[in-house]
């Protein structure tokens, strides 16, 4: 039996399959990668200027966008038309000072506000339903998701160099307490704050964290995070003692320069594959047999390519891949003759106006 605070994956670690990823592997040709998907649909987000797309949630006939940079949450319809802002920044009741994540619980949109420390609830129209304080020991969660065996809010927690604690918590329904999983002890740098949690459909949550080559999953049958596979980056694996004598930020700079991987970030389920990114390298991993293929771009035509570096997980679904077209980049490539601005592309840019929001390229899996 695995007790509270210790993941079942730790007990069964020897059984976790290894997936080997080669940083030097040539990526799939853009035309080959394109055969996995239908031609993309395009969504121009219009009506509100975005600072960033930190989370993109699929809420059936609308999208939820959490803009961490501007500290706002927006609703857009599936054509990209702005519907409304949800919630209000401030220090009073029904307000938040800072948000760190959003999640979907059926027809309810959930905010996690770490200032003050509470969960906030909204209906599909975006109207306020209520709020609940959560235990102080769960302050400053890095993000949240909703799912698992009992349909609960899960959060990922930060850590500091030399600290001890847990990376993942499952909150009780009233938010007063929770169960903790995936301990960290004496981890080498404070960048453990980069733990990532993304939601697929049917209660599935994917979790990755720095300095741990395993990728974890929560689902309807397993309410505790279980390691699905261990990633072997070959020459990119971080050697023992690599971070000694380095400041936390210097760890990132050194690893980036030397091609050393300390985090498989932004796990994103697309059908029966999982997409992960590692310092400019992107891989699609087959969840059935563990085979992995490096990917870089998807050709669309007339010089238009979807670049995997721009992907953003579309959460609470698992059939679509979202890449972003940056208007300034499109115009620059067109000016160099490397991309043709077709009538369709021109209409997308015109619809964007002066907002310069990313244009979403939404790829649906082939049947």
Over residues 298-354, the pLDDT tens digits come to: 988 776 788 999 999 999 999 999 999 888 887 787 788 777 777 877 887 777 776
Res 286: pLDDT: 95
Given a cut of 50, is residue 6 above it in pLDDT? no
Cα 68 to its chain centre, rounded Å, is 13
Query: What band does 4 get if pLDDT is binned at 50, 70 and 90?
Result: very low
Over residues 244-256, the pLDDT tens digits come to: 888 777 888 898 8
Radius of gyration of the chain (CA): 21
Q: Are 8 and 226 in contact (CB under 8 A)?
A: yes
Given a cut of 70, is residue 3 above it in pLDDT? no
Work out the mean pLDDT of the chain and round it to a whole number: 87
Q: Are 277 and 293 in contact (CB under 8 A)?
A: no
Q: Are 57 and 315 in contact (CB under 8 A)?
A: yes
Res 194: pLDDT: 64
Given the structure tokens 């020459």, which residue do they identify?
235
Query: What band does 178 get if pLDDT is binned at 50, 70 and 90?
Result: confident
**Helix 343-352 vs helix 327-335: angle between axes, to the nearest 10 degrees?**
140
Query: What band does 191 get if pLDDT is binned at 50, 70 and 90?
Result: low
């Amino acid at each position: 039996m695995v007790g509270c605070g210790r993941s079942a994956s730790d007990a069964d670690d020897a059984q976790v399959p290894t997936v080997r990823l080669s940083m030097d592997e040539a990526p799939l040709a853009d035309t080959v990668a394109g055969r996995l998907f239908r031609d993309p649909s395009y969504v121009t987000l219009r009506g509100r200027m975005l600072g960033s797309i930190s989370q993109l949630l699929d809420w059936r006939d609308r999208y939820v966008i959490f803009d961490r940079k501007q500290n706002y949450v927006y609703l857009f319809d599936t054509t990209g038309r702005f519907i409304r802002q949800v919630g209000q920044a401030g220090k009073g009741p029904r307000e938040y000072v800072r948000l760190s994540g959003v999640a979907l619980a059926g027809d309810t949109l959930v905010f996690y506000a770490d200032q003050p420390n509470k969960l906030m609830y909204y209906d599909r129209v975006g109207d306020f339903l209520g709020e609940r304080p959560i235990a102080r020991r769960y302050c400053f969660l890095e993000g949240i998701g909703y799912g698992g065996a009992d349909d609960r809010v899960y959060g990922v927690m930060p850590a500091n160099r030399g600290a001890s604690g847990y990376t993942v918590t499952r909150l009780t329904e009233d938010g007063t307490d929770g169960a903790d999983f995936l301990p960290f002890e004496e981890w080498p740098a404070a960048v453990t704050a980069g733990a990532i949690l993304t939601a697929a459909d049917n209660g599935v949550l994917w979790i990755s964290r720095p300095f741990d080559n395993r990728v974890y999953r929560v689902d309807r049958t397993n309410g505790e995070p279980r390691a699905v596979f261990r990633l072997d980056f070959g020459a990119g694996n971080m050697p023992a003692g690599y971070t000694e004598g380095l400041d936390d930020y210097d760890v990132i700079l050194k690893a980036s320069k030397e091609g050393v991987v300390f985090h498989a970030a932004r796990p994103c389920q697309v059908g029966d594959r999982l997409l992960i990114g590692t310092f400019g390298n992107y891989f699609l991993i087959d969840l059935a047999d563990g085979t992995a293929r490096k990917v870089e771009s998807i050709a669309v035509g007339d010089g238009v390519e979807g670049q995997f570096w721009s992907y953003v997980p579309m959460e609470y679904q698992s059939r679509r891949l979202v890449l972003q077209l940056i208007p300034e980049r499109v115009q620059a490539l067109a000016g160099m003759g490397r991309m043709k601005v077709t009538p369709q592309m021109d209409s997308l840019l015109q619809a964007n106006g002066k907002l310069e929001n990313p244009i979403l390229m939404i790829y649906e899996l082939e049947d």
